[in-house]
Chain A
Amino acid sequence: MTTLVYLIPVALFLGALGLAGFLWALRSGQYEDLDGAAERILIDRDDRSN
């Protein structure tokens, strides 16, 4: 029973951390071009002057 006192908050905190991370990613526009993100990984960075 005593272990639950800290295990439950820890579990909830980790879950909430994941949720917050997702909401942050959503707000910063990382989900706006999913197809593009998948393709951009193929582009060589060196070629880009800017």
Chain B
Amino acid sequence: MSCCAPGAEMALDLETSVLPSSQEIRLASRSLGADLHQTDLSVPAVHCAACIQAIETALGRLDHVEGVRVNLSTKRVSIQWRGNEIPPIVAALGRLGYEAHLFDPEVGEKDKTLSELIRAVAVAGFAAGNVMLLSVSVWSGAEGATRDLFHWVSALIAIPALAFAGGIYLRSAWNALRHGRMNMDVPIAVGVSLAYAMSLYETINHGEHAYFDASVSLLFFLLIGRTLDHVMRERARTAVNGLARLAARGAMVQRDDGTRDYLPVGEIEPGMQLLVAAGERVPVDGRIIRGASDLDCSLVSGESTPKTVASGERVQAGTLNLTGPLTIEATAAAKDSFLAEMVRLMEAAEGGRARYRRIADRVSALYAPVVHLTAFVTFLGWMVAAGDWHQAVTIAIAVLIITCPCALGLAVPIVQVVAARRLFEAGVMVKDGSAMERLAAIDVAVFDKTGTLTLGQPWLVNASSIDPAMLAIAADMAAHSGHPFSKAIAGFVNFVGQPKLEAVSEHPGFGIEATTADSTWRLGRRGWAGWKARTGGEGRYGGFGGTVLSRNGAIVACFVFQDALRADAKTSIGQLNETEVSVEMLSGDTAAACREVAETLGVERFVPALLPSGKVERIEALTRAGHKVLMVGDGLNDTPALGAAHVSIAPATAADIGRNAADFVFLRESLLAVPLALDISRKAGRLIRQNLAIAIIYNTVAVPIAILGHVTPLIAAIAMSASSLLVIANALRLQGFGSDAQARSAAPDRRSSIGTLAQSS
């Protein structure tokens, strides 16, 4: 990447991702009519003006490209092109050093809610400013006809503001009431509309007090909070949507007459023959007809070791074909495949989240009846005491206006906006505010192993004990293969005078063969490469340690691999333990592989060889025992568990549905994102409680004044703005808290963490 590779905010390390093929891009393009097409790509690494310019210039030069526009906020590029052939967009971006992904085109394209909210804020702001101007004149002593004129003008300005901006609250309040629920919008809607109605009545009768300013400025403040909340969630959502799709979008189908078609996954039927090239994901469950290869199942089952497959064997949707081309016969349609099964399990497991009621809703369920009852009792009291019907109603409504939960309505969202912003800067995306409330309550953290605690990528552990000359030959050979073991060995490429390789060939499922001037070298499975050896190593097929380098059939070097740990995994587990969260590991991998990782990381409890439903059962058992469980996982097999847990976190490298199911997604490699999210959520929880306390203290002071009938519009305006500002100021304190934790989570040093693992094992 040209300008901003190190420390780029969104720097992603998605080595396992596969570039979208031109057929996939074709499927994702939209037709703009008249031969013109538009393709939108997500380019997470776009970072600055130089990136914008580089991409727009380079893509603009391609044939058939009509227009290119980079959106830096959403990190997307939209390209308009003509003709039938797709210009080599992805390749061009790749040459510039930018990885491009397809994303799900959203329904309805533009974000309608956001523009509605912003328009509402603009209208409310306009109305609040002008009404306040007129109100100040009234407070300063305008009387008689002038005061009436000002009240009338205010009333006229406030009508559209109330209808347009207040509509959002009225609709939401009506929805809640209709379903027999209570939310914060109910007292807001009641307070604002009553304030308006009473002020209008006063204006008509030349009254002294009108609360137009209170009703519109209240709306203005609350709408700002609501809009910020929406913007923050939307940002997190687009960032997550922009990540690489890990599920296949379509597949090349071979017809009986030999023709080939690229079909979307949804149109594949059982019995069709599919061609899956090396580097592609298997689109649906199937059986291999021709070919042999290695499959990376880490995302599907949690097994860290690639599985060798040959003709006749079954393959699951979602596995990644590593080495050789395969022809498979589909045995299930996409809707009946493994992926769909996981979605069903997840839906069945969902419960903890649906049952959760947000703090704001719980508070308003208590608050609204108390406030409305107080107003009613005030009315009765004044009727009995003074017997003046008009005065009693006026004072009762004044109580409602002063208790209208402006501070309470802002207390929760403002803190969550600030917290989400902090997490966003640290590369953690929060799907919604309730996720932080739920995360603050957890006492058990359950981790998946492969891909979460580890990277799901093997790492050569015994490099130092291998003859450098042999290692150099192995590295040269390994550079020709996409197998994860080969990639790990290829990292040691070095010239120490090794002979030049001739005729390198890969034997899928076995290894790589190469010839030099005087000998034949093989790098691969023990039984295949060392055909002269009498080691009896055949029993260790597929296991780590089963990979050797042989020269003319005699084994000359043995390679031991281990799954590389995610950066800062040990520190993160340690930090969680310090905060009295007990850590557990659930994995689909073998007991031996799990024990090794658990011992290195200091995880005390682990359960190996679990099926997806087993993980859900374990989480449900913990939940029944009264624990609040956090699930951190990435695989397809973790998805039901992510749904079953109280709250869930997934890394950016997780399977698509896992990312969608999780409440938090962290984009950087370091696992410190988990303790950081927990820490900020807990601090946010504390600030929310403080804010609620401030709002309630404000009410206990203001309500008696209102009940005694001393509230004027001026007092109401001052009291309400003061409490709102206090709540906002308190929320902003979160910005200052512990920025050292953030500094520690930045810039993960992968090599060092891998080094530690190698030494300790």
Contacts and interface: CB of A to CB of B under 8 A. Distances in A.
Contacts of A39: 48-49, 52, 72
A6 B414 CA distance: 41
Nearest to B110: A32
A47 B57 CA distance: 9
A31 B49 contact: no
Nearest to A12: B130
Contacts, number: 59
Please tell me the size bucket of the interface on B.
20 to 34
Contacts of B133: 11
A40 B51 CA distance: 10
Main secondary structure of the interface of B (DSSP, over half): helix
A48 B57 contact: yes
A1 B137 CA distance: 13
A33 B49 CA distance: 13
B113 to A, nearest CB: 14
Contacts of A41: 49
A10 interface: no
Contact of A26 (B48, B49, B115): B115
27 contacts: A1-B145, A4-B149, A11-B130, A12-B130, A15-B126, A15-B130, A16-B126, A19-B122, A19-B123, A19-B126, A23-B119, A23-B122, A26-B118, A26-B119, A32-B71, A36-B52, A36-B70, A36-B71, A36-B72, A36-B73, A39-B52, A39-B72, A41-B49, A43-B49, A43-B53, A47-B57, A50-B60
A4 B149 CA distance: 10
Nearest to A44: B53
Interface in B36-80: 48-49, 52-53, 56-57, 60, 70-74
Contact of B53 (A1, A18, A47): A47
Interface string A1-24: 100100010011001101100110
Interface in B680-733: none
Contacts of A26: 115, 118-119, 122
Contacts of B130: 11-12, 15
Contacts of B49: 39-43
Nearest to B111: A32
B157 interface: yes
Nearest to B66: A50
B73 A33 contact: yes
Contacts of A40: 49, 52
A38 B72 CA distance: 10
A18 B73 contact: no
Nearest to B46: A36
Contacts of A23: 119, 122
Nearest to A36: B72
A40 B48 CA distance: 9
Nearest to A48: B57
B53 A31 contact: no
Given A26-B122, A36-B52, 16 more contacts: A1-B146, A4-B146, A11-B133, A12-B153, A15-B129, A15-B130, A16-B126, A31-B118, A33-B71, A33-B72, A36-B71, A39-B48, A39-B49, A39-B72, A41-B49, A50-B60
Given A19-B123, A31-B118, A34-B73, A12 B157 contact: yes
A11 B157 CA distance: 12
A2 B60 CA distance: 61
A35 B72 contact: yes
Given A1-B146, A26-B119, A32 B73 contact: yes
A34 B74 CA distance: 10
Contacts of B122: 19, 22-23, 26
Nearest to B146: A1
A8 B727 CA distance: 34
A3 B149 CA distance: 13
Interface string B103-131: 00000000000010011001100100110
Contacts of B145: 1
Contacts of B126: 15-16, 18-19
B62 to A, nearest CB: 12
B466 to A, nearest CB: 48
Nearest to A41: B49
A4 to B, nearest CB: 7
Nearest to A16: B126
B587 to A, nearest CB: 40
A31 B71 CA distance: 11
A33 B149 contact: no
Contacts of A16: 126
Nearest to A42: B49
A15 B153 CA distance: 14
A22 to B, nearest CB: 5
A40 B145 CA distance: 54
A41 to B, nearest CB: 8
B137 to A, nearest CB: 9
Contacts of B48: 39
A43 B51 CA distance: 10
